[in-house]
Amino acid sequence: MSERKYSKDHEWLELNEDIATVGITNHAQESLGDIVFIELPEIGRLVKFGDQIGVVESVKAASDLFSPVSGEIIEVNNELQNSPQLLNTDPENTGWYMKIKIDNAEELTNLMNFNQYKETI
């Protein structure tokens, strides 16, 4: 199993070679409350680290999604369009929202391991 990495924007990444599966952390979904909508990024879009790539809306607020790495978005979790509540019930597994082919592996050093992330929240 690969180690997860975490961003300061409360996203998690799980690496499989140069493909990262990305989602929001449990802490992020707890802060948002009941999620009612997600705007997913476009497949094929080239993004840079920190780019705004989508929006999550809850009954309390809307929150931007940011790309934790640079690369090409190769897949999105379309199941979230019909069931955005997956982000509440299983944010760190079936609630992933995109897969990205990483351009620059050095950017992974900007991310935290679980213990570092836990200390920041």
How does pLDDT run across 26-36, given as a tens digit for each residue? 999 999 999 99
For the chain, give every domain's residue range. 4-106
Sorting pLDDT into bands at 50, 70 and 90, what band is 5?
very high
Can you say whether residue 44 is alpha, beta or left, with left for phi > 0 and alpha for psi between -120 and 50 degrees? left
Segment 63-88 mean pLDDT: 96
Global pTM reads 0.94
What 3-state class would DSSP assign to 12?
strand
Mean pLDDT of the chain: 94
pLDDT at 1 over 50: no
**4-106 carries CATH number 2.40.50.100:** yes
Q: 10 exposed, middle or buried (CB, 10 Å; 0-12, 13-18, 19+)?
A: buried
Question: pLDDT band at residue 111, thresholds of 50, 70 and 90?
Answer: very high
The Cα–Cα gap between 52 and 68 comes to 10
- Report, as an integer, the average pLDDT of 44-51: 96
Give the residue-averaged pLDDT of 114-121.
94
Mean pLDDT of 94-101: 97
